[in-house]
A and B are shown apart, each in its own frame.
Chain A
Amino acid sequence: MKNQIGSGKNDHNPRNPVTFSKRKFRFSDWFAEQVIRAVAFLAIAIVILIFIFVFREAFPIFRMDQTKTSASTELVQENYGGTETVPSSTPQEKTKSESPEIQVTTIDKPSSTLLSKAWMPVSDNPRYGLIPLFLGTLKVTLIALIFAAPISILAAIYTALFAKPRVREIIKPVIELLAGFPSVVIGFFALMVLATIFQDIFHYASRLNSFVGGVAMALAAIPIIYTLTEDALTAVPKTYTEASLGLGASRRQTAFYVVLPTAVPGIFAAVVLGLGRIFGETMIALMATGNAAMSGINPFESVRTLSATIGAEMAEVVFGDTHYNVLFLIGSLLFIFTFALNALAEFYIKNMVVRRYQSKK
């Protein structure tokens, strides 16, 4: 094998010819690459470790058997502000209702109560029904989305496609400033101001409820949905706008028939990410939703969301208790949902965008 190519002499520096026939090891390059790689993998490792931790703590709930405990006094039902009265004749409680003198009661298998409608983790017969928590979260999320999505999308359409540059330079940073508000401040505002205003308007019974919480969460989600929608709209190639206007379309027609349809995947991603924000929002939920685990559909009833449940109860729970495990189970569910939402936004929508902008060949 000839190696003549690399051995030619460099005219400028004849004593130090540049050769490229042999690979040279450059320590600083190698080192920098390894450090960057390590940092990148560290981030992934942290995510995986959190994942494992949360799931490990949640897992025992599915292995617990029926256990017997002696109840010292008569049963005291605890129900967080709910209207639900637990009749003593429910099948699970037959034992104790038939023979109240015998102060031994069968505690339901914790995992079997997960689908019940009662969230009573600290009663003598604790039940960990996640359904009211789910319904509460769903209600708040929907209300928040109903307010946040149209407002932020329309605001984004205005600033991206209609507003004069000077107006845009004022509106955009102001809306984005809202993203920097600590959620506790928004929660406080909802608790003190929004709740009173809405009660005056709608005359509902419980001051803090899913409607107040939803509106407050919309405030938290608006900047996210707005910013991402704005980006999606401004990312639509200018050639589209020019083509449309060149064909004699008005600005409105161009905005709604050309730019908006092209940006739909991006806007959808914006809404999904806003949904993730609302879904996981804890402080506002804790402060403004009333925290009663009720499962009605009336928006003016108090609710308890999944994340607020963890926020409120984790500090007081007995370490290693069933209740502790159930809270971790809720945590894992939140984790899975937000993960699924983000994955949806990331992969499905990116594919749609790619398909839209690129030719099929």
Chain B
Amino acid sequence: MLNNYLFMDEIKVKVKDLSLYYGASQALKKISMEIPEKKVTAFIGPSGCGKSTFLRTLNRMNDLIDNVTIEGEVIIDNTNIYDKNIDVVNLRKKVGMIFQKSNPFAKSVYDNIAFGPRINGIKQKSVLDEIVERSLRQAAIWDEIKDRLFNSALGLSGGQQQRLCIARTLAVNPEIILMDEPASALDPISTSKIEELIQELKKEYTIIIVTHNMQQAARTSDLTAFFYMGDLVEMNKTEIIFSNPAKKQTEDYISGRFG
């Protein structure tokens, strides 16, 4: 099943037989997939199908939850991130994450962006200034908030907050950006801004996005993976998934017969 869509791309993330259990119940069942570099890969599927859980295994965010057991391998740049010797802190610098609900800190816009560089030991004001401006420009929000850098980030609109969170992630120079339904709480205009931004960002970053919105997956992604009940049902180029899916289940979901 794999590889027919990947012949021309570098593989960034390779997942082998990944299973995840919450206590005794299995949430992911032997998932294997390959995710190409500098593309947008979308995960779709009904609620509770495991797509968000799977996304969170890619930067080990599930470590925060008690009682989780993980089997299998996730290989990013030739290293299995579930190895015992892995430095999770540095892994998360490399694999950034945007959450469903925008979550800026209760600090100023500037301090939000500068948080990542600061914990990495950058103290010089000029360097921080430069990172803040660059990140905000990359996240296409600089022009809107350049005059409010020192106001509380919580005073921004929902869409601005989400782009601020993207800028905050960009400020630590990740290679992969995980987005967990980044636009599900936003209005259509903010959503389209985020989608444009994703198109911009994929020139430099590998983007993996979980979405409930199938139009969004169709519009923004290069590849789409369909999850159902903890299984990866099908993964292919987005146009193929949406026009000519191989599996009946995928077709039923996409055409709105369930989910």
The interface of chain A, by Cβ under 8 A from chain B, is 165, 237, 239-250, 253, 257-258, 261-262, 356-361
Contact = CB atoms under 8 A, between A and B. Distances in A.
Nearest to A242: B99
B252 to A, nearest CB: 33
6 contacts: A239-B101, A245-B92, A246-B99, A246-B169, A247-B172, A250-B119
Contacts of A258: 105, 115
Contacts of B159: none
Interface stretch (B41-49, B59-67, B222-230): B59-67
Contacts of A237: 103
B64 A242 contact: yes
Contacts of B93: 247-248
Contacts of B59: 246
A250 B91 CA distance: 11
A262 B154 contact: no
B58 to A, nearest CB: 11
A208 B28 CA distance: 65
Contacts of B107: 261
Contacts of A357: 106, 154
Contact of B119 (A243, A246, A257, A358): A257
A356 B107 CA distance: 8
Contacts of A165: 66
B154 A359 contact: yes
Contacts of B116: 247-249
Contact of A247 (B64, B106, B119, B155): B119
A262 B105 contact: yes
B115 A257 contact: yes
Contact of A361 (B106, B115, B119, B155): B155
A249 B89 contact: yes
Interface in B50-96: 59, 61, 64, 66, 89-90, 92-94, 96
B92 A243 contact: no
Nearest to A246: B97
A242 B92 CA distance: 11
B38 interface: no
Given A246-B169, A247-B169, A248-B119, A356 B106 contact: yes
B35 interface: no
B152 interface: yes
Given A246-B92, A250-B89, A240 B105 contact: yes
Contact of B172 (A248, A356, A361): A248
A39 to B, nearest CB: 38
A248 B64 contact: no
A127 B104 CA distance: 60
CB-CB nearest 8 A-B residue pairs: A248-B93, A239-B103, A246-B97, A248-B92, A247-B116, A360-B155, A243-B103, A359-B154
B154 A360 contact: yes
Nearest to A247: B116
Nearest to B101: A239
B172 A262 contact: no
B105 A245 contact: no
Which of the listed residues B92, B101, B151 has the most CB atoms from chain A within 10 Å of its own CB?
Answer: B92
B163 interface: no
Given A246-B59, A247-B116, A357-B154, A240 B103 contact: yes
Interface in B159-175: 165, 168-169, 172
A262 B106 CA distance: 7
Contacts of B97: 242, 246
A241 B101 CA distance: 13
B64 A245 contact: yes
A248 B103 contact: no
Contact of A248 (B66, B89, B105, B156): B89
A277 B153 CA distance: 37
